[in-house]
Amino acid sequence: MSSPACNVDPKTAELWDKGHYQYDVISTRTLGYFMYLLSDGMLFATLFAAYGVLSYQHSYFGGPTPADFVKPWYTFVQTMALFLSVLAYGFGMNALKHKNKSGVISGLLAAFVLGVLFLMLDIHDMTHLASLGISVATSGGMSAFIVLTQVHATHIFFGLIWILVMMAQVMIKGFTTEVVGRLLTLRMFWHLQAIIWVFVYVFVYLWGYMS
């Protein structure tokens, strides 16, 4: 016969939903956003693949390599700024659980300040490179290094704008379904930046410093 579920009796089968069917707006939103973030992760994976191919000795064409200018402890401070920002955001989310509006705002504010610190350290690092005469045009290896790290920094930049928007929305609109959903998606975005930073820090900065 036509299908595997022939054991359903057509005379008594339920044909139409009784009107109690609801779907979960928040988790639909977070699932879609998580999938977007994974595709963003694929973007970084492809950049890492490019970096892998362009970090051989000949890729630097005799010019400067990361070993010449990476200062591990400086970048470690950057790492801490980002991790603390993520931690602050986490505490803010904990306040959300208790409907604590000022807790959420201060968590977001701390996350924002620490994120700005991260970004300023990064900009300082880049201006230092520029003062050494190093840019994307120096060699293939340096193109890969700078573009990979700066794509991550760009993500941080847009994340910071988003944090500001969410602070305003929490203040103006309170904890509506949409605002809570956005706080959750921003949480994933911000945490994912920390996860990607672990890779950038270890495999680009530390490994670059080693070789």
Residues with Cβ within 8 Å of 19's Cβ and at least 6 positions away in sequence, in order, are none
Question: Which residues have CB under 8 Å from 78's CB, separation 6+?
Answer: 118, 121, 122, 125, 201
Q: Which residue pairs from 93-97 have beta carbons closer than 8 angstroms and sit at least 24 positions apart in sequence? A: 93/183, 93/184, 93/187, 96/175, 96/180, 96/183
Least Å from the CB of residue 134 to other proteins:
12
Distance, CA of 16 to CA of 185 (rounded, Å):
34
Query: With binding defined as CB under 8 A, does residue 67 bind other proteins?
Result: no
Pairwise CA distance, residues 37 & 148, whole Å: 17
Contacts of 161 (CB under 8 A, 6+ apart): none
Residue pair 135/60 in contact by the 8 Å Cβ criterion:
no
Binding other proteins by CB under 8 A: which of 102, 127, 154, 211?
A: 211
Q: In the complex with other proteins, which residue's Cβ is closer, 120 or 164?
A: 164
- x/- site string to other proteins, residues 28 to 57, per CB under 8 A? xxxxx-xxx-xxxxxx-xxxxxx-xxx-xx
Among 99, 127, 128, 171, binds other proteins (CB under 8 A): 99
State in angstroms the smallest separation of the CB of 105 from other proteins.
15
Residues 106-165 that bind other proteins (CB under 8 A): 135-144, 147, 161, 165
Q: Count residues binding other proteins (CB under 8 A).
A: 108
Site string for other proteins, 77-96 (x = CB under 8 A): --xx--xx-xx--xx-xx-x
Q: Between residues 120 and 173, which has the closer beta carbon with respect to other proteins?
A: 173
- Closer residue to other proteins in complex, CB, 120/211: 211
- Nearest-approach distance from CB 129 to other proteins, in angstroms: 12
Instruction: Pick the binder of other proteins from 66, 186, 201, 204 (CB under 8 A).
Output: 201
Rounded CA-CA distance 66/55 in Å is 9
